[in-house]
Amino acid sequence: MFSPSSFPESPAPYQSLSLRRSELMGLATLWVMLFHAYPFTFRIAPLDTFKGLGYLGVDVFILLSAMGIYVSLWKAEQRGEGNRPGRFYAKRLIRILPSFWLVVGAYSLFLVQAGRAGWSTIFWNLSTLYFWFQIPGTFNWYIPALLAFYLLSPFYVKLFRRCPDGWKWALTAAAFPVSYVLYRLALPFGQLYFLACRMPAFALGVLTGGCLVSRQPLTRRHAAAWAGLSLAGLLMLIPHMVPSAGWVRLSLNYLFAAQLVPLCMLLALAVGKLPKWMQAFLRLLGQCSLEIYLLNVIVTREFDLLAPYLDRGPRHVFYYAVVYSANLLLGIGLHKLISRLIPAGPKSPAPYQNRQEGAS
């Protein structure tokens, strides 16, 4: 839980989330990759627990993406473009789909040629419709879920901006119970619940983006609100401690989402203390996170194919050192290639800076 006294009355914590957005995405990328290294274990309980929770790195991506979306829509309005969903969707699709189609299309073709999938798999994978219809033999839930958030973003942001300031926080808090109802309804339908339980992270990202562009300082009142949410998140653990309360147990995504904003603020401030080369490395990973993630999903699925050639030594350390290094290098190279071929392609948005600090 985070105490209100943990933060000074300063705009810096909200500002740091924008300035360190790519670095935070880089950290989240490494955490998700660690989670995907299923056969590997540290054999140290706290580290293995941390590894096992790596799927929560997706919530960090959702939070930061939603914050970036809010800032992007706000900047478009400042340029006089208004709320144009078509323009917004086009920019997002250009950032996502070329990399997605290239990686997933090539891998789907490989599966077909290897006799491990039918030709229809290519259509289902490239269209992302597999996520909604739960087609067997398909993969990668995150991109369809992200596109769903993109689809809803202009409308939710418009609703959010119309709310009085106090009601903005209430609207964000309402995302938790609404999300939980949808989560329970989605449980029988494959991976749809992965999308439902990320709604709070998305709503928190929009709220954070609103605080950022309105130059809200992190007052003690704000810190008290974040601390209260953090406490509520910890209380969500109680059903997990009562064996007879299984029907009300919450996904850990809700507990994590309740801590997410102050946690990312602290991480952003900590990243600023790292050596410059480490900041640059994390920033690069964050900028290339889409391509790294897409390739990592394939690497995760193909352990049995690659392990006979690369799995040497204890606990698969050599295997993951080689494969994950290649994963990072190929992801970075693919990002740079697509960025060169499609200038408006997958770039991380420029950080929003306070006008009082000399930038718009």
Residue 354 binned pLDDT confidence (cut-offs 50, 70, 90): very low
Checking if the pLDDT of 30 tops 50, the result is: yes
Which pLDDT score is estimated for 340?
92
Q: Where are the beta strands (DSSP E) in the chain?
A: none
Checking if the pLDDT of 246 tops 60, the result is: no
Task: Read off the pLDDT of each residue in 112-138 and give the average, rounded to a whole number.
Answer: 93
Which pLDDT score is estimated for 185?
94
As given in the structure block, the two tokens for residue 159 are 């609703």
Which pLDDT score is estimated for 131?
94
Average pLDDT, the chain: 88
Least confident stretch, 24-33, 47-56, 351-360 = 351-360
Do 254 and 197 form a contact (C-beta atoms < 8 A)?
yes
Q: Residue 291 is which amino acid?
A: E
Do 197 and 183 form a contact (C-beta atoms < 8 A)?
yes
Checking if the pLDDT of 237 tops 80, the result is: no
Q: How far apart are CA 328 and CA 287, in angstroms?
A: 12
Do 137 and 168 form a contact (C-beta atoms < 8 A)?
no
Residue 344 binned pLDDT confidence (cut-offs 50, 70, 90): low
Which pLDDT score is estimated for 76?
85
Backbone torsions φ then ψ of 348, nearest 5 degrees: -80, 130
Model pLDDT for residues 257-300, shown as the tens digit of each residue: 999 999 999 999 999 999 999 999 999 999 999 999 999 999 99
Cβ neighbours of 143 (radius 10 Å) = 20
End-to-end CA, the chain: 33
Checking if the pLDDT of 346 tops 70, the result is: no
In the chain, % of residues over pLDDT 70: 88
Q: How far apart are CA 227 and CA 196, in angstroms?
A: 24
Do 291 and 335 form a contact (C-beta atoms < 8 A)?
yes
Which pLDDT score is estimated for 82?
67
Which pLDDT score is estimated for 40?
96
Which pLDDT score is estimated for 3?
41
Of 70, 24, 93, 7, give the one whose Cα is nearest residue 289: 24
Q: Is 83 exposed, middle or buried (0-12, 13-18, 19+ CB in 10 A)?
A: middle
Which pLDDT score is estimated for 83?
66
Q: How far apart are CA 282 and CA 302, in angstroms?
A: 26
Checking if the pLDDT of 7 tops 50, the result is: no
Model pLDDT for residues 64-99, shown as the tens digit of each residue: 999 999 999 998 888 877 667 888 999 999 999 999
Model pLDDT for residues 170-224, shown as the tens digit of each residue: 999 999 999 999 999 999 988 999 999 999 999 999 999 999 998 888 888 888 9
Which SS3 state, helix, strand or coil, does residue 218 take? Answer: strand
Q: Residue 180 is which amino acid?
A: Y
Which SS3 state, helix, strand or coil, does residue 38 take? Answer: coil
Q: Is 104 exposed, middle or buried (0-12, 13-18, 19+ CB in 10 A)?
A: buried
